[in-house]
Each structure stands twice: as C-alpha cells, then as structure tokens.
Amino acid sequence: MMICGNLPTVLSIEYYPFWLVICNAWAAPLFIVISGMMVVFTTQTKGHRLKYFLARGTLLIIVGLLIEVFMLGGYPFMFFQILYLIGASLPIAYLFAYLNTLSRWFTVTIFFLSHPLLQEILKHANHIIHRFIVDGWFPIFPWLGFSLLGVNLAYLRWKPNSHKVMWKNFAFSGIGILAFGSFIWWLTSHYYGWPSVGYVISAIGVILVLFPIVDYKPSLILYKPLQALGESSLFMYILHLSLIYYIVAPTWSEVNLETFLLIYIAISSFMVLVAHGLRVLKGV
C-alpha cells in the first residue's frame, strides 16, 4: 500500500481509479497503527525498554531527514514526513503503554477530537509550529493518535481468546465506524483541513475491520510476502522510495493505468525478492 501511496507523487495517471484513492488513503494510518502495536509486542517478547525506543526513534528521524534532503529536495523538517512522526512516537508509545486502560482510551479519543479545534486555534501561529502540530504531511495531531491507538489494539489483540473477541466485536464495530466516518468525511470535506474528522473515523473503522480478517486465516500464503517485508520494514521503506525517486521519476512522468500497474507490480515483486534475500542472510 505504501507503494500505491507514493507512486502518484511522481506519476500522473490519465485515469485515477477509486481503489487507488483507497490505497492512498489507508496506507499511512495502517503503517502508524502497526508501529504502535509493535512497541507493545517487542516490549513483551524482547524486553525492549525506553532506551531502545529512544535510539530507534532517533534513527528513524535521522533517516527521515536524509530522505527529505536528498530524495525530496527539501530541507530538514520541511514536510514533517511519516518517519519523523513514527520516530517521535516510539518512546511516547512506550510510556503511554504504562497507563491504565481507561486513561489510554480517553487519551486517544481526546487526541483525535482535538485536531479540528487545534487547527482553528493555531491557524495564525508560526508556520513551523503550525506544520509540526496540525498541518504538514504527518503532524502530531491527529497522527500520533494512530500510534497510541495501536498500543490499545495490541493489548486487545494479544490477550487470551483475542481472536474470538476480534471476530465478534471488531468486525461489526469497524463496519459501523467506517460507514459513519465515510458519511462525516463526505459531509465535512469542504469545512476541515486534511486529515478531516471523517477521514480519521473511517480510517479507524478500516483498521478494526482488517485485523479480524487477517486473524481469521493468518497462515494464508498471501500473507507470507507481507511478513517478509515487515521484518525489514525500514529498509523496505527506503528501498521503495529509492526506486520511485531515482528510477521511476526520471523515466516516466505521465502514464496510463496499465503502465502504472506494471510499475507497481515490478516494484512490489522486486521488494519481495529482496525481503526474502534478507531473510536468508539473517538465517530466518
């Protein structure tokens, strides 16, 4: 999905299909939610502590800075891209995980609901502050809320009998939240800046629907390439951007849908091959 999200930044498509719009819309929240879930998972399984997440977060911010300067042609923190957000969120998510359940859910709710209010309050603030907190590509509000939501979902996902709970509650709740959020998104699309309240609600609905679907048949062969990619997620992120900006962008500018799909399949296939190669090198 991240390939679909970033390819259109360098390729103009004659016809922009609805499925591509959807992939662009949901890639980022899924990526950020999973990063929050992995904080809980690695804390429980590998014993990582705050020092680890501070170091990991710093590394992500440095990599994001290099990408912004050398790939995007900007200056540091010009766009406040996703690696900055995830890098900052890792130690915060670790500390957040120690709150009690009620406090965690209350914090996530406030995080999402306060975004439109902060947009109004800070509309005349310093440009850098405005971009860092509520504007830019991935500002703190509301995107950090998705990382904190991932922490909450991790506690639900990895507790005893969670599969049954996920199927009985998450899927149906997610469908309702997605429908409600989509309606609000359509209704308020002209009144709020991106990301809107409706988008955030519908993204939460999509996430709640997808996890039970994956859990229903986690051993499907379809998920094997995704698992391999996830084991080297930072390298894969850098690799896909390198392919897009250093190979695709200089070669094509405007393509039809068929060419776009071929480029997408070629990049995806190459990344899966590289991911499996890395697994072999790691001895996994």
- Of how many residues is the chain composed? 284
pLDDT number for residue 124:
65
- Rounded CA-CA distance 141/116 in Å is 9
Tokens found for residue 52: 């680890």
| pTM for the predicted model, two decimal places | 0.86
Are 229 and 271 in contact, with CB atoms under 8 Å apart? Answer: yes
Three-state DSSP string of 116-180: HHHHHHCCCCCHHHHHHHCCCCCCHHHHHHHHHHHHHHHHHHCCCCHHHHHHHHHHHHHHHHHHH
- Rounded CA-CA distance 275/229 in Å is 5
Tell me the mean pLDDT per 10 residues along the chain, length 284: 75 74 79 93 92 95 89 75 91 95 93 82 70 78 93 83 62 87 77 71 89 77 80 88 89 85 90 89 71
Are 274 and 25 in contact, with CB atoms under 8 Å apart? Answer: no
Q: What amino acid is encoded at 166 in this protein?
A: M
pLDDT number for residue 131:
74
pLDDT number for residue 62:
93
Tokens found for residue 88: 């900052």
Residues whose CB falls within 8 Å of the CB of residue 34, separated by 6 or more in sequence, listed in order = 150, 230
Are 211 and 153 in contact, with CB atoms under 8 Å apart? Answer: yes
pLDDT number for residue 270:
94
Contacts 24+ apart (CB under 8 A), 45-53: 48/94, 49/94, 50/91, 50/94, 50/95, 53/90, 53/91, 53/93, 53/94
pLDDT number for residue 74:
76
pLDDT number for residue 104:
95
Are 99 and 175 in contact, with CB atoms under 8 Å apart? Answer: no
Q: Estimate to the nearest angstrom the gap between the alpha carbon of 73 and the chain centroid.
A: 23
Comparing CA positions, the residue from 263, 261, 271 lying closest to residue 20 is 261
